[in-house]
């Protein structure tokens, strides 16, 4: 049995004998805890040398000599971490005689102290000692730290109850693409108001008592849908519940997040915003398209096409976009793909400009269709492309093909396109 302590090493001296991999792992942790570290070793790793050169550790550049444990300083803790069992034994024996705790890297039975597998998350430090089985300890430590980090472990106990509303950008759909902070808040929610394009796969993990409200199904009554959503957020928060508004991508990119924040602020409800991975960037990335590949595109335009080019409600300058030559990423455009492509061509963009349509980005059903502005309408119809999809227009689509990083396989419906800049169809 061991007696687990948390050593408060701030300003206290610690001796590390040895300068190899073990010392390299231990020293930064000791420094993080505020210890003053002396390393005794004729050679050290490059990382330790860097710490010595920057003055963060004191380095005695020589082999250990009997008497160092008591002679080099007033140490509270000693680490014996050389590759010589003999030296390590001498160091720990000297520490033992001086009643200083010592950790021997190579032989735990001769150590007076063991180092637990440690980690921290959410301001909590975890130490695990698994009866001398370091791998098991490390595995358990990882599980606990992961659980703390993503909020799934002990989210409902030991924390001050949350209040108000959190607008959480849930990412493009893959449950792994929500942020750690978003996941933590979701795990603490009393109420979750969720969009269709949010990572709904995460909802299964919520405890049964959490109220899950599908934003698309909120009855509108006399108000508009967005107003009804705002009302639900404010209403539940006023009941003292912690509300997570789980949205697709990033809440502020064509997500009406600003309106929801404003409604909370107007109602005096505390509100916090957690940024999300937007589909505007995740869709091309998950299709292997580097949207600003060096030497190909120096600018990127993210456009909503919820109203088509030419529509009087559209405020998008399609003529300027056509001239710009940069990469254009279009959201909410799949139903208007033909009109978008022809507007760009009409305003002067080369009809052979490549376009990728990434549907269900980051989900197991993701597909990528590649065409040109002049062929895309027909190709999309033929392939049955549907919402949700992101259009990526520009030479970077060709770059992805040239670099051979467009995903392939059964989920990728890549349509051969008309030749682009001399490159033939694949």
d(CA 202, CA 36): 44
Contact 235, 228 (CB under 8 A): no
Q: Which residues contact 99 (CB under 8 A, 6 or more apart)?
A: none
Residue number, 82 or 251, with CB nearest to ligand SAM: 251
d(CA 352, CA 143): 51
Q: Is 190 in the site for ligand SAM (CB under 6 A)?
A: no
Residue number, 80 or 198, with CB nearest to ligand SAM: 198
Using the contact rule CB under 6 A, the part of the chain among 80-88, 152-160, 272-280, 313-321 near ligand SAM is: 272-280
Residue number, 34 or 258, with CB nearest to ligand SAM: 258
Candidate residues 15, 193, 390, 420; the one interacting with ligand SAM per rule CB under 6 A: 390
Structure tokens at 102: 């010592």
Structure tokens at 68: 């160092």
Q: Is 331 in the site for ligand SAM (CB under 6 A)?
A: yes
d(CA 278, CA 169): 8
Structure tokens at 55: 């003055």
Which entry of 195, 250, 360, 398 is annotated as an active-site residue?
A: 195
Query: Which among 315, 336, 317, 350 has a CA at the least distance from the CA of 391?
Result: 336
Query: Which among 408, 413, 331 has a CA at the least distance from the CA of 367?
Result: 413
The single residue listed with the structure tokens 């396989």 is 409
Q: Is 387 in the site for ligand SAM (CB under 6 A)?
A: yes
Q: Is 283 in the site for ligand SAM (CB under 6 A)?
A: yes
Residue number, 115 or 279, with CB nearest to ligand SAM: 279
Q: Is 200 in the site for ligand SAM (CB under 6 A)?
A: no
Question: Is 195 considered catalytic here?
Answer: yes
Question: Is 241 considered catalytic here?
Answer: no
Q: Is 113 in the site for ligand SAM (CB under 6 A)?
A: no
CB of 333 to ligand SAM, least distance (A): 7
Residue nearest ligand SAM, CB atom distance: 249
Q: How many helices (H) and strands (E) does the chain have?
A: 13, 17
The single residue listed with the structure tokens 């509100």 is 271
Residue number, 65 or 387, with CB nearest to ligand SAM: 387
Structure tokens at 366: 């993701």
d(CA 175, CA 398): 29
CB of 182 to ligand SAM, least distance (A): 13
Give me the active site residues, please.
195, 217
Binding site for ligand SAM (CB under 6 A): 172-173, 197, 248-250, 253-255, 278-280, 283, 331-332, 358-363, 387-390
């Amino acid at each position: 049995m061991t007696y687990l302590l948390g050593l408060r090493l701030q300003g206290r001296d610690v001796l590390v004998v040895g300068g190899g991999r073990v010392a390299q792992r231990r020293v930064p942790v000791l420094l993080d805890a505020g210890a003053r570290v002396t390393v005794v070793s004729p050679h050290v790793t490059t990382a330790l040398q860097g710490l010595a050169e920057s003055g963060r550790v004191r380095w005695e550049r020589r082999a250990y000599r009997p008497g160092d444990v008591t002679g080099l300083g007033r140490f509270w803790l000693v680490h014996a971490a050389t590759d010589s069992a003999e030296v390590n034994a001498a160091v720990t024996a000297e520490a033992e005689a001086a009643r200083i705790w010592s950790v021997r890297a190579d032989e735990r039975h001769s150590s007076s102290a063991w180092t637990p597998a440690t980690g921290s998350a959410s301001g909590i430090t975890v130490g695990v000692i698994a009866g001398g089985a370091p791998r098991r300890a490390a595995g358990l430590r990882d599980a606990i730290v992961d659980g703390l980090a993503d909020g799934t472990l002990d989210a409902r106990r030991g924390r001050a109850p949350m209040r108000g509303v959190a607008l959480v950008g849930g990412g493009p759909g893959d449950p792994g693409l929500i942020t750690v902070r978003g996941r933590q808040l979701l795990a603490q929610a009393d109420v979750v108001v969720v969009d269709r394009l949010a990572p709904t796969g995460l909802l299964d993990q919520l405890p049964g008592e959490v109220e899950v409200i599908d934003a698309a199904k909120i009855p509108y009554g006399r108000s508009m849908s967005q107003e009804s959503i705002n009302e639900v957020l404010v209403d539940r928060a006023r009941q003292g519940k912690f509300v997570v508004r789980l949205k697709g991508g990033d809440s502020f990119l064509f997500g009406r997040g600003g309106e929801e924040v404003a409604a909370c602020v107007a109602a005096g409800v505390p509100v916090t915003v957690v940024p999300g991975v937007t589909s505007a960037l995740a869709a091309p990335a998950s299709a292997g398209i580097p949207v600003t590949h060096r030497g190909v595109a120096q600018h990127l335009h993210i456009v909503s096409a919820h109203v088509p080019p030419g529509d009087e409600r559209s405020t998008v300058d399609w003529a300027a976009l056509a001239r710009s030559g940069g990469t254009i990423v279009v959201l909410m455009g799949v139903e208007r793909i033909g009109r978008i492509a022809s507007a760009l061509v009409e305003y002067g963009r080369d009809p052979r400009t490549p376009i990728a349509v990434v549907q269900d980005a980051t989900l197991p059903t993701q597909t990528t269709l590649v065409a040109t502005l002049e062929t895309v309408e027909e190709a999309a119809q033929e392939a049955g492309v549907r919402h949700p999809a992101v259009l990526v227009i520009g030479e970077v689509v060709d770059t992805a093909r040239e670099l051979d990083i467009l995903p392939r396989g059964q989920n990728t419906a890549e349509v051969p396109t008309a030749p682009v800049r001399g490159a033939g169809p694949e």
